[in-house]
């Protein structure tokens, strides 16, 4: 049910600008509909609350979300431990649309071919801007001739509010509407507020409120707030807990709120500065982002336009900044982690529940968090995992009587409940990532309080899930090399993650829990694990049996985990296995099923670890040409954010690597390990290396001409060595 209010406002126009590579912009308004929502709307977010904006000429539609609005619950099933068990999938629930705020304008001339319409997402300042210059045809009547409309929108983390300002040269009237996505009654609260509240069938209560005002009698300002009763720290996650409505209107000076928002956002965004884009042309500077993408997809040069490599480099730089923008906007300390769609969802039945997928997607969302100098944004993941493990431990105990620790299903919801099949490598993978975060930050308090409990939970279960292989080695049973199959013991994906886990338990335990029996058990078990095998066509085998197919177009490359994001296969340390991994990767087709949002970034990062910048570059090109929408969202299809966030990690891996150590324990920092010819010249500042180091450098003709390494180091890792 909608409730509306009317008002009159007048305003003037300002301009917004950002550097090349730091703006996504369009010259056409987004039409309505689900497809346009994912391909043409533009996102804003403060980590907890997000919105997708349409930027329509006569109607601004703001579809909004809160990270914790979920159906479902912890849904313990008691299902057996069979890998195929899907007993809980029907009750895992879904991430939900929260509602829509609309502002409809009267007294504004309709669009025509003489309109000057620009809509942009300023990535450097986290601002959504719509600027419309009206250039009327001859004889066009007053009062609208020459009218100008200017809008700004942002998601403030300090104030926890979505803020909108609408200004025009001529007076105009506006109709403001607010509606929920679950049929809630909307009430007008006073003369300038609308509000609604409700409760989902699972007992999760929620509330929203929109307030508006005339700012100095010339501007319309609208503020939107929304919340739920979700509480990560409660055993019931807040289900059944009241969610009180917003009792008072939100009042703030818009310009002060905007300044505080930009300062808060830029303390994250400004840490890294990448310049790889090549000189464009004047004609190129006028091409909107969607048009630039279309030009790259055509694959042919047009007179007056940049070369395909230059155009693609420009898009990659924009995509790199957009990915950082999305991570900052969908993951902040105190929020839930970014899910399959980050923070943005326009339906109550999204694909794959818009869940936390534990076999690649959740992990890929956070591959870049440390190397891209956004380490604080890992906090939502580790805090949620520790809370979710309360549920996971109960589910594991029901499915595997007598077991300790935790195992995850492939699909997890906000309450730790799971669906679809068991993914026995999921908890170990997340625990390994928790330990790797320590290698970047060197925060022993975090290692003790956050990472170690996750390592222990994962190791306690998986070490009881081992069987003896025909050669006396230990194999992880019932693996399925997500999502490739067949189900078998000792699939290389599981074996590789197990090796990384046991190494992490040994490393972390020696620092924070040297007397824990698990540490010695891990150290004793590691040498007995079944290792990698090289198959009949020189490939790194995916299964214990040599059944890999050269030319397979499957989207997953699960058996290459040890190359990236793992580090037990390296060019210097295990050259034969690295060569076999390259054969496997080259033997995986890039057609049909391989064209997915997250497949390209993973393969780009793999080629980067294998030192092949040209092939890594081709993978980035594949993401832009095959799986990127006009608004730069990655699509599986449909839209999945893992491609956007994983792409940031892939670019970083092409520029800096720090996963190896020297024989005397120094961090080995590789600069430009996989730079393609298309990036002949460039510079980067603020990337991070393991050991706590910050890396700045520039390069010319593919060679580093200047670098600076700062920070880092402690007694565990004494110094670094730089190679290129």
- Per-position DSSP letters for 457-496, written without gaps between them: HHHHHHTTSEEE-TTS-EEESSB-TTTT---BTT-HHHHH
Q: Which residue has the higher pLDDT, 398 or 48?
A: 48
Mean pLDDT calculated for residue range 687-704 = 96
| pLDDT tens by residue, 331-346 | 999 999 999 999 999 9
Structure confidence at residue 489 (pLDDT) = 96
| Same-domain check for residues 286 and 264 | no
On whether residue 621 sits in a domain, the answer given is no
Burial class of residue 705 (count of CB atoms within 10 Å of its CB; 0-12, 13-18, 19+): exposed
Considering the domain architecture, whether residues 103 and 220 belong to the same structural domain is answered as yes
Distance of CA 16 to the CA centre of its chain: 26
Residue 487 has pLDDT above 90, yes or no: yes
pLDDT, residue 10, reads: 25
Residue 138 lies in a domain: yes
Q: Are residues 228 and 287 in the same domain?
A: no
* Average pLDDT for 77-98: 78
Task: List the strands of the sheet with 408-412, edge to edge.
Answer: 356-357, 408-412, 418-423
Of 291, 316, 341, the position where a domain reaches its end is 316
Give me the pLDDT at residue 217, please.
63
The residue-averaged pLDDT of 184-198 equals 95
652-661 residue pLDDT tens:
999 999 999 9
Q: What percent of the chain has a predicted confidence (pLDDT) above 90? A: 79
- 41/19 same-domain check: yes
Query: The whole model's pTM is what?
Result: 0.95
- Say if residue 17's pLDDT is above 80: no
- Answer with the one of 210, 241, 270 that is the final residue of a domain: 270
In a domain, residue 22? The reply is yes
Mean pLDDT of the chain: 90
Range 372-385 average pLDDT:
98
Residues 283 and 242 in one domain: no
Q: Strand 667-671 relative to strand 720-723: parallel, antiparallel, unpaired?
A: parallel
Domain membership flag for residue 563: no
3-state helix, strand, coil in the chain (%, to 5): 30, 25, 45
pLDDT for 15 beyond 60: no
**Are residues 200 and 257 located together in one domain of the fold?**
yes
Phi, psi of 604 (to 5 degrees): -65, -45
Is the same domain home to 195 and 284? no
- Asked whether 120 and 25 are in contact (CB, 8 A), the reply is yes
**Burial 155-194, CB ≥16 within 10 A → b, else e:** bbbebbbbbbbbbbbbebebebbbbbbbebebeebeebbb
* Chain segment 63-86, per-residue pLDDT in tens: 999 999 999 999 887 777 777 665
pLDDT value at residue 194? 98
Range of the domain at 286: 275-316
At residue 475, φ and ψ (nearest 5 deg) are -125, 140
pLDDT of 33: 61
Where residue 5 falls among pLDDT bands split at 50, 70, 90? very low
- Give pairs for 28-36: CB < 8 Å, separation 24+: 28/117, 28/288, 29/54, 29/55, 29/56, 29/57, 29/111, 29/117, 29/119, 30/54, 30/55, 30/56, 30/119, 32/56, 32/61, 34/346, 34/347
Answer yes or no: do 282 and 254 share one domain.
no
| Residue 595 lies inside a defined structural domain of this protein | no
* Per-residue confidence (pLDDT) for residue 256, from 0 to 100: 97
Mean pLDDT over 598-622 rounds to 98
Task: Decide: 692 and 716 in contact? Cβ < 8 Å.
Answer: no
Does residue 569 sit within a domain? no
- Asked whether residue 182 falls in the same domain as residue 98, the answer is yes
Q: Looking at the structure, do residues 139 and 282 belong to the same domain, yes or no? A: no
Looking at residue 470, its pLDDT comes to: 85
**Least confident segment among 15-19, 194-198, 580-584, 609-613:** 15-19
122 falls within a domain: yes
Instruction: Write the CATH number for 233.
Output: 2.70.98.50
Number of domains in the chain: 2
User: Does 642 reside within a domain?
Assistant: no
Same domain, 145 and 193: yes
Residue where a domain stops, chosen among 205, 237, 270: 270
| pLDDT given for residue 142 in this prediction | 38
Share of the chain above pLDDT 70, in %: 91
Residues 307, 292 share a domain: yes
Q: Is the pLDDT of residue 412 over 60?
A: yes
């Amino acid at each position: 049910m909608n409730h509306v209010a009317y008002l009159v406002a007048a305003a003037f126009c300002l301009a917004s600008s950002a550097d090349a590579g730091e703006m996504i912009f369009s010259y056409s308004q987004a039409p309505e509909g689900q497809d346009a929502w994912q391909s043409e709307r533009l996102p804003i977010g403060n980590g907890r609350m997000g919105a997708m904006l349409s930027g329509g000429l006569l109607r601004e539609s703001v579809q909004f979300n809160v990270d914790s609005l979920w159906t479902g619950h912890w849904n313990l099933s008691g299902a057996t431990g069979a890998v195929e068990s899907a007993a809980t999938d029907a009750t895992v629930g879904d991430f939900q649309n929260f509602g829509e705020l609309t502002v409809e304008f009267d007294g504004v001339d309709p669009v025509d071919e003489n309109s000057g319409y620009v809509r942009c997402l300023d990535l450097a300042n986290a601002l959504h801007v719509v600027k419309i210059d009206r250039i009327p045809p001859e004889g066009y009547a007053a009062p609208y001739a020459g009218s100008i409309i200017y809008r700004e929108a942002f998601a403030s983390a300090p104030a926890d509010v979505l803020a909108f300002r609408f200004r025009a040269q001529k007076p105009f009237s506006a109709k403001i509407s607010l509606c929920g996505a679950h049929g809630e009654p909307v009430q007008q609260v006073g003369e300038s507020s609308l509000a609604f509240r409700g409760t989902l069938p699972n007992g999760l209560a929620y509330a929203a409120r929109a307030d508006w005002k005339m700012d100095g009698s010339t501007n319309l300002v609208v503020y939107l707030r929304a919340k739920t009763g979700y509480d990560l720290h409660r055993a019931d996650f807040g289900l059944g807990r009241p969610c009180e409505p917003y009792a008072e209107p939100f009042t703030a000076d818009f310009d002060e709120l905007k300044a505080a928002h930009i300062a808060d956002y830029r303390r994250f965004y400004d840490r890294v500065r990448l310049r790889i884009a090549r000189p464009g042309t004047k004609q190129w500077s006028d091409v909107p982002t969607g048009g630039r993408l279309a030009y790259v997809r055509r694959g042919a040069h047009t007179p007056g336009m940049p070369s395909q490599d230059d155009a693609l480099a420009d898009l990659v730089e924009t995509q790199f900044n957009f990915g950082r923008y999305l991570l900052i906007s969908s993951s902040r300390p105190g929020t839930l982690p970014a899910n399959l769609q980050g923070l943005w969802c326009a339906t109550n039945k999204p694909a794959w529940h818009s869940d936390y997928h534990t076999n690649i997607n959740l992990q890929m969302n956070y591959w870049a968090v440390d190397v891209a100098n956004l380490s604080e944004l890992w906090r939502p993941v580790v805090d949620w995992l520790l809370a979710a493990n309360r549920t996971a431990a109960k589910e594991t105990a029901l499915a595997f009587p007598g077991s300790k620790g935790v195992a995850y299903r492939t699909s997890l919801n906000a309450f730790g409940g799971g669906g679809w099949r068991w993914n026995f490598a999921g908890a170990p993978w997340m625990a390994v990532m928790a330990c790797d975060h320590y290698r970047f930050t060197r925060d022993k308090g975090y290692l003790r309080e956050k990472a170690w409990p996750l390592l222990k939970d994962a190791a306690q279960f998986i070490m009881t899930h081992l069987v003896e292989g025909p050669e006396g080695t230990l194999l992880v049973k019932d693996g399925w090399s997500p999502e490739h199959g067949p189900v078998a013991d000792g699939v290389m994906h599981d074996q590789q993650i197990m090796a990384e886990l046991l190494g992490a338990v040994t490393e972390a335990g020696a620092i924070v829990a040297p007397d824990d029996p698990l540490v010695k058990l891990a150290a004793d078990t590691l040498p007995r694990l079944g290792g990698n095998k090289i198959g009949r066509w020189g490939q790194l085998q995916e299964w214990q049996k040599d059944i890999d197919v050269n030319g397979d177009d499957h989207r997953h490359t699960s058996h290459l985990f040890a190359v990236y994001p793992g580090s037990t296969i390296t060019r210097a340390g295990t050259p034969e296995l690295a060569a076999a991994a390259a054969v496997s990767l080259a033997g995986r087709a890039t057609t049909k099923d391989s064209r997915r949002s997250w497949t390209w970034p993973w393969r780009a990062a793999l080629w980067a670890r294998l030192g092949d910048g040209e092939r890594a570059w081709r993978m980035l090109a594949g993401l832009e040409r095959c799986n990127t929408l006009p608004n730069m969202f990655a699509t599986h299809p449909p839209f999945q954010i893992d491609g956007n966030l994983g792409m940031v990690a892939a670019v970083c891996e092409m520029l800096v690597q720090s996963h190896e150590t020297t024989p005397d324990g120094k961090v080995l920092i590789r600069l430009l390990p996989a730079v393609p010819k298309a990036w002949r010249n460039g510079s980067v500042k603020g990337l991070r290396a393991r050991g706590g180091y910050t890396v700045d450098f520039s390069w010319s003709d593919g060679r580093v001409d200047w670098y600076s390494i700062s920070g880092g180091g402690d007694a565990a890792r004494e110094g670094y060595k730089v190679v290129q």
